């Protein structure tokens, strides 16, 4: 379950890391456009604003107390969220191109997948995760490679755990490239 999927935002009580802060900030900006079309996003966006303001007040208000480690963590979180956003944007554009080539639109795809129009918009914009089945259907209908549909990001904690664990296993013949589990690419 993705903590920052649109249906889970209201359940978040506080942001506990730079990565969560960056995700919340990014989502806050994305929802600005959707809120203009649908006012039901306003409470979600207001909740995000409060979470962001609280995090900034608790972690960035004291300029003298900001550490190099904190700045490094912030930079890494920003790079991760930027990579995720870039993936979702490319996927969205690829799906739109394939829809146009097929003489369809987003509403048609929503009907095919059995979703309502607003829900489809959230999926396309990366605000909700597509189900595995939806992605397989899109793959088969439009011949889009699965690696262009399924994000391959690995959470920081998981990537660190894997790297640590592999280093402790004897007879381990797995050799990772820097990109495999580099947290900047995770």
Mean pLDDT of 38-48: 94
pLDDT of residue 33: 86
Q: What's the CA dihedral at 21, 25, 28, 29 to 10 degrees?
A: -170
What is the Cα–Cα distance from 145 to 23, expressed in whole angstroms?
26
The overall average pLDDT reported for the chain is 89
Domain boundaries, the chain: 6-149, 154-186
pLDDT at 180 (0 to 100):
62
Q: What pLDDT, on the 0 to 100 scale, is given for residue 162?
A: 82
At residue 183, the pLDDT reads: 47
Look at residue 2 in the predicted model and tell me its pLDDT: 76
Residue 185, pLDDT score:
40
pLDDT score of 25 more than 60: yes
Which residue in 33, 23, 135 sits closest to 85, CA to CA? 23
Residue 32 or residue 159, greater confidence: 32
CA distances from 182 to 2, 44, 155 (A): 21, 33, 11
Read off the pLDDT of residues 131-168 as tens digits, 9 standing for 90 and up.
999 999 999 999 999 999 998 877 777 877 887 888 88
**pLDDT of 94 strictly over 90:** yes
Predicted local distance difference test score (pLDDT) of residue 182: 55
Work out the average pLDDT over 100-110: 97
Q: What is the mean pLDDT of residues 20-46?
A: 92
Handedness of CA 63, 66, 72, 76 (dihedral sign): negative
Mean pLDDT of 4-17: 91
CA distance 7 to 38: 15
């Amino acid at each position: 379950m993705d903590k920052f999927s649109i249906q889970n935002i209201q359940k978040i009580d506080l942001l506990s890391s730079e990565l969560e802060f960056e995700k919340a900030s990014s989502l806050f900006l994305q929802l600005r456009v959707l809120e203009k079309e649908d006012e039901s996003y306003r409470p979600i966006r207001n909740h995000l604003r409060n979470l962001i303001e609280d995090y900034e007040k608790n972690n960035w208000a004291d300029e003298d107390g900001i550490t190099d480690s904190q700045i490094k963590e912030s930079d890494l979180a920003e790079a991760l969220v930027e990579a995720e956003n870039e993936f979702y944007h490319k996927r969205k554009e690829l799906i739109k191109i394939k829809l146009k080539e097929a003489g369809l639109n987003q509403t048609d795809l929503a009907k095919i997948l059995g979703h309502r129009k607003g829900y489809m918009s959230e999926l396309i914009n990366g605000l909700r995760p597509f189900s595995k089945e939806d992605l397989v259907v899109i793959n088969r209908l439009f011949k889009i490679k699965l690696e262009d549909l399924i994000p391959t990001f690995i959470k920081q904690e998981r990537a660190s755990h894997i790297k640590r664990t592999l280093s402790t296993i004897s007879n381990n013949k797995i050799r990772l490239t820097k990109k495999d589990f580099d947290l900047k690419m995770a």
